[in-house]
């Protein structure tokens, strides 16, 4: 429970930011899941490339908004790129 007006305001701002960050992360995770499913089911390099590009865009956008760190975004994109490369080279 907030004891001061300023701490009440900060608590309210924190909830708003948390909601916004969850939205950004949800979008990024949705694109990641779609790409992962595509990697498991398809060998079409063009479709995989487009899905990877869309995923990287969403993750980078979330990082620029502060929903996750730039380093974490970079690691996620690199890991998915590595998976995509392995699938397209094998097939």
Q: What is the mean pLDDT of residues 70-83?
A: 97
Asked if 48 and 90 touch (Cβ cutoff 8 Å), the reply is: no
- Residue 10 structural domain: 5-90
pLDDT tens column, 5-54: 999 999 999 999 999 999 999 999 999 999 999 999 988 999 999 999 99
Number of independent structural domains in the chain? 1
Q: Where do we find the tokens 């590595």? A: 82
Query: The whole model's pTM is what?
Result: 0.87
Assign residue 34 the CATH number of its domain.
1.20.58.110
Check if the beta carbon of residue 88 is closer than 8 Å to that of residue 45.
yes
Residue partners of 87: CB distance under 8 A and separation at least 6: 39, 43, 48
- The pLDDT-based confidence of 91 (bands split at 50, 70, 90) is low
What Cα–Cα distance (Å) separates residue 75 from each residue in 40, 72, 82? 20, 5, 10
């Amino acid at each position: 429970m907030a004891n001061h007006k300023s701490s009440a305001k900060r608590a309210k701002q924190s909830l708003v930011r948390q909601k916004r960050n969850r939205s950004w992360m949800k979008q990024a995770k949705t694109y990641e899941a779609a790409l992962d499913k595509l990697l498991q089911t398809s060998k079409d390099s063009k479709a995989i490339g487009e899905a990877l590009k869309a995923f990287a865009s969403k993750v980078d956008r979330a990082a620029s908004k502060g929903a996750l760190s730039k380093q974490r975004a970079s690691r996620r994109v690199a890991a998915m790129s590595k998976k995509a490369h392995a699938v397209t080279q094998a097939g």
